[in-house]
Amino acid sequence: MARNRGFTWIELVLVLAAIAILGAMAIPGMQDTALKKQVKEGIDLADVARKGVQQAWSASGDMPKNNEEAGLPPKEKIVSSMVKEVQVDDGAIHITYGNNASKVLLDLKVSLRPAVVKDEPRVPIAWLCHRVPVPDKMEVKGRDRTDIPPRWLPVECRSTQKP
Mean pLDDT of 104-125: 93
> What does DSSP assign to residue 60?
H
Name the residue among 66, 62, 108 with its Cα closest to residue 83: 108
What domains can you pick out in the chain, each with its CATH number?
37-157 (3.30.700.10)
Neighbours of 22 (CB within 10 A): 9
For residue 161, is pLDDT > 80?
no
Report the run of H or E that residue 41 belongs to, with start and end.
Answer: helix 9-45
- Dist CA 9 CA 150 (whole Å): 45
162 falls in which pLDDT band (50, 70, 90)?
Answer: low
Highest mean pLDDT among 2-6, 11-15, 96-100, 120-124: 96-100
Task: Give residue 142's region: left, alpha or beta (phi > 0; psi -120 to 50).
Answer: left
